[in-house]
Amino acid sequence: MTDVKFWLDKHVAHVRLNRPEAMNAITVEMDEQLGAIWKEINENSSVWCVVLSAEGDKAFCIGADLTGRQAGRTGLALGGGITGIGGPLLKLNKPLIAAVQGFCVGGGFELAMCADIIVATESAQFGLPETRHGIIGECGVVHRAVRQLPHRIAMAMILTGERLPANKAAQYGLVNEVVPLNGLESAANDWATKVNKCAPLANQAAKSAALDRLDYPLEVALASRFEAIEQYAKSDDAKERDIAAAEGRRPVWTGS
């Protein structure tokens, strides 16, 4: 049984952490699996968006598995990959939806914050317990938290280790929707359906433009040219957009 499940359903890629007995803590092997999965998703034009989830009801992910030796970590998924700490930063070019339940702490919290949309259960709790346990390193989770939450909320989490419940996370804009546990999967899939109603290449170009200039002054962002947007303008989907508008019908996207 694999510790990371990966499957495609039409144009949605599903990635599921599958170590519920260990609260989905990420091992070196899982790190390598996830790194390969993110690469495949980026290169597969039939994938229009991604749903990241986890088995069990106790935890989405509690971060890296510290029970065994972690020497030789590749830094592809947790501590690299889409997180970018300890390894090359891999920018996921497809929209990413995270479905979060239970404990979402440490590196698991970082993994969730890599998502563009977060759906959480009513019992979900987000946290940065590192300093409470006397641990701190090249900790990507603190850099993301202080950018995605109000400054003092993030700093209080960093400096006390206190967890943030889902309803507060939604209040602060970290979470898009809070649902009962039995509604988590359907809520995440509903968001995927909404995303995939849009032109996939336009979505990818929009995500790239928004994030690539996020830390720049507005005037720089406005003056920038974006290769993905220029490529989309020449795509079959852009032509289909114009044809459908002229014919008074909904466009049928192909992602090409």
Strand order in the sheet with 59-61: 59-61, 103-105, 125-127, 164-165
Catalytic residue positions? 110, 130
Rg of the chain, C-alpha, whole Å: 19
SS3 category, 68: coil
Distance CA 53, CA 74 (A): 22
What is the separation, in whole angstroms, between the first and last Cα of the chain? 35
Query: Which residues are 248's β-sheet partners?
Result: none
Distance CA 83, CA 81 (A): 5
Q: Which residues of 37-54 are buried (b: 16+ CB within 10 A; e: fewer)?
A: bbeebbeeeebbbbbbbb
By DSSP bridging, strand 103-105 and strand 125-127 are parallel
Which 3-state string (H, E, C) describes 98-160? Answer: EEECEEEECHHHHHHHCCCEEEEECCCEEECCCHHHCCCCCCHHHHHHHHHCCHHHHHHHHHH
